[in-house]
Chains A and B, each alone.
Chain A
């Protein structure tokens, strides 16, 4: 769908959000400092294959850190949200909880959120949906209704369980077609072309819905349209929840327009963000967020 048509659809949805907002005149409590950080997400948040094979939590866009060992081992400093919080507000009272799981989808969000009861975070980030767009089969992408249900359930749960004044940031899904378009001429592990690596989607390599060499351009455009539709839904649902809540601050952050280039994509699997890509995500999401000023 073209951007202009999406804008028209979004206008309608935004009007729904505005009506919801007008029904809730109560002001929210003051925003708490983001000292207790809690990350919900998938392999992007765990920085899978971003530097070395498997998880690289130190270069996660949100929970990353850069201590002595990272310096000695030459692991990049990506200036994650966790580091930015410490730099700005100090290390006293800090928590950095990583609940993200590889392969997680929006239907896993509620279970990942359960830990907030004990952790009582003041800053929750959610970046999910990549694995809803990236399915093994093109004909297996969730419907809008399913995504809406999972998002609403999760946000309602957080609203009930988080301390007053907490902040929830929901990051949109990066444009997976852009990932395909950029990486299709790149090389992955051992110099093997990304296209060759993606041929293994038939053997279980993730994201066959976008990356399978059997897909046509129309198939990829269909998946991109779902990618856009999920993001439109996320933006509106987060807006509605923010308007309705009297306790928690909610923000949606656009990741669809992130301009990934070749170096931002994992040189191991041609699929996940590289450490540089995680740094880009951190920078863009932080700069759009409420603690940037």
Chain B
């Protein structure tokens, strides 16, 4: 039951066919999202059960060499996973697909060797995607319910006055105030003053059509007031994502902002300026901002940036290198982050060793994989105390997110420092 109007129950099956088709498509997308999560998690379990370690690819000096090394590593890993999977006992329980609702998954969806994979694991692994899809389902249900409720109200009213619903609508539309020549002329003049073509026949058609639509909407509004309805499906809560370090730890800042970002996209550079200001601004001490690498797969310079920043961070020079790379990009100079990095750190030899270290590249790739697993398909994306925001956030929106998180966060665990907002 979705709700009721005028004492009549409205169920999913009562909705118009196009909405039912859209809902079926959305439920199928939810099913696919969970299947995809299951495949990923099973692969992780297989790797763990079989003791497969990430391959230590030889990282070459050249850019092409680095990309090749990553590809080789992935191919080798896929091969080992396939071999391990074949040798493991995997028991799976299929979900029960339903025609008019989301598919129900069993509590235990698979056993891989000695490990159990549960429905809640799939929910967690695909939380952002699932929450988006469920929000779409809810929006579709609201739209379709409102349309069906309006149709029911018209039918109820038609029965009351001994007529038919379409007659009531036609009568309302026909009763719309006629459009006068003066109104047409005024609209034509106004449109032409703005540089539009404004043909009188088209203008008249618009004015008449809009007036009829207004009359029909007025009828529907009146009936909504007279014949109340209730929609009973609760909107899904915005998700909180289970990213590593997404929530404040005891004794640290009250709000954690995880920014999954790079430096090479236009909005990434703008984001970096905003983040730097926030770090230095009045919330200092109450928020912690952590940047994690996220960039398109094919954007090798962004990968190099992330490796260089990680190596500069080991010498406490990440902020300086970040600024230097952005300055180079802004001035259209060549922004070779490894060269800039060598010049930015006190120990260039240690920096060189670091950037050639496969473990460092692997850590960067892990961060990017984490962003993808969270469902962040845009760079930059954010978690503010676990609440996700995908895509660029203007300064005022990011600040209001932080303010909301501060308002909802537990009391300060750290003493306030001077200059903080009250």
CA–CA, A192 and B206, complex, Å: 31
Nearest CB of chain A from residue B287's CB, rounded to whole Å: 21
CA–CA, A225 and B136, complex, Å: 25
B203 proximity list for chain A (CB < 8 A): 139
Nearest CB of chain A from residue B212's CB, rounded to whole Å: 8
B41 close to chain A: CB less than 8 A: no
Nearest CB of chain B from residue A5's CB, rounded to whole Å: 5
Contact among B187, B205, B391 for A190, CB-based, below 8 A:
B391
Nearest CB of chain A from residue B259's CB, rounded to whole Å: 13
A90 close to chain B: CB less than 8 A: no
Nearest CB of chain A from residue B421's CB, rounded to whole Å: 27
Please, what's the 1-or-0 string for B170-214, where 1 marks a CB less than 8 Å from any CB in chain A? 100000000000000001000100001111011101110111111
A221 close to chain B: CB less than 8 A: yes
Nearest CB of chain B from residue A270's CB, rounded to whole Å: 12
Nearest CB of chain B from residue A103's CB, rounded to whole Å: 16
Q: Which of A190, A225, A226 has the most CB of B within 10 A?
A: A190
Nearest CB of chain A from residue B402's CB, rounded to whole Å: 17
CA–CA, A5 and B154, complex, Å: 14
A260 proximity list for chain B (CB < 8 A): 22
CA–CA, A166 and B170, complex, Å: 42
Interface residue count on the A side (C-beta < 8 Å): 35
Interface majority SS (helix, strand, loop, mixed), chain A:
helix
Please, what's the 1-or-0 string for B385-422, where 1 marks a CB less than 8 Å from any CB in chain A? 00001111100000000000000000000000000000
**Residue ID in chain B nearest A215 by CB atoms:** B210
B159 proximity list for chain A (CB < 8 A): none
CA–CA, A222 and B169, complex, Å: 15
B119 close to chain A: CB less than 8 A: no
A138 proximity list for chain B (CB < 8 A): 206, 210
B210 pairs with A222, CB closer than 8 A: yes
Chain A contacts with B in 190-231, Cβ cutoff 8 A: 190-192, 216-219, 221-222, 225-226
Nearest CB of chain B from residue A11's CB, rounded to whole Å: 13
Contact among B217, B377, B393 for A221, CB-based, below 8 A:
B217
CA–CA, A4 and B198, complex, Å: 33
CA–CA, A221 and B210, complex, Å: 8
B381 proximity list for chain A (CB < 8 A): 191
**Residue ID in chain A nearest B137 by CB atoms:** A261
**Residue ID in chain B nearest A142 by CB atoms:** B202
B335 close to chain A: CB less than 8 A: no
A141 pairs with B213, CB closer than 8 A: no
B305 proximity list for chain A (CB < 8 A): none
Contact among A4, A141, A143, A192 for B392, CB-based, below 8 A:
A192
B230 proximity list for chain A (CB < 8 A): none
* Given A191-B390, A192-B391, 16 new contacts (CB under 8 A): A4-B165, A137-B191, A140-B202, A143-B205, A181-B143, A190-B378, A218-B210, A218-B214, A221-B213, A221-B216, A221-B217, A222-B209, A257-B17, A257-B21, A259-B18, A259-B22
18 chain-A/chain-B pairs, Cβ below 8 angstroms: A2-B165, A5-B169, A137-B196, A139-B191, A139-B196, A139-B198, A141-B205, A185-B135, A185-B139, A191-B381, A191-B389, A219-B213, A221-B213, A222-B210, A257-B17, A261-B136, A262-B136, A267-B377
Q: Which 3 A-B pairs have the closest CB atoms?
A: A191-B391, A259-B21, A259-B22
Binding site for B on A (CB under 8 A): 2, 4-5, 136-143, 178, 181-182, 185, 187, 190-192, 216-219, 221-222, 225-226, 257-263, 267
